[in-house]
Amino acid sequence: MDIRTSSFDHPDAVKLNDAVQLEYAERYADDDGDGEGDLTPLDASMFAPPLGLYLLAYDDQGLPVASGGWRTQDANDEGYADGDAELKRMYVVPEARGLGLARRILALLEADARAAGRTRMVLETGTAQPEAIALYASSGYEPCAKFGYYRDYPNSRCFAKPL
């Protein structure tokens, strides 16, 4: 696997973001089958170094199979703290799951955020993503006070790890 720095608006990043949005909508669908993707406002500038980083992983055929990024956060009315780096858009296509890509991307993002002077990595996920919760827990993340766009949602779970 080849992991590369990318921009959040790169066509391959957009393709993977569209795929993860569909998965969110399916996982969080209500009884009527209606669901939505992650509505957190994001744009490419949020992931531009040194304020963040976005990574894409490619398989041996050159196809994009995984993504993840971090963006700078500091104390604000959404519950972030000074020095936070927020993990966003961690995703691995179903065909590439179980290969350790998410763990590799996570480690690279943590190292980059640390090098950029960030002191804590934070993330928000939800109860319909038990695989994500297991990955983060096994990587040293612990539950923390809720923050961000979904902080008032009952199925939202927030985690943090000192960098």
What CATH number has the domain bearing residue 90? 3.40.630.30
pTM over 0.75: yes
User: How many angstroms separate the CA atoms of 30 and 70, rounded?
Assistant: 29
Within a 10 A sphere around the Cβ of 10, how many other Cβ atoms?
Answer: 18
Strands 64-73 and 84-92: antiparallel
Domain residue limits at 14: 2-162
Task: Tell me the per-residue pLDDT of 53-76, one tens digit each, with 9 for 90 and over.
Answer: 999 999 999 999 999 999 999 999
Q: Are 125 and 148 in contact (CB under 8 A)?
A: no
Confidence of residue 31 (pLDDT cuts 50, 70, 90): low
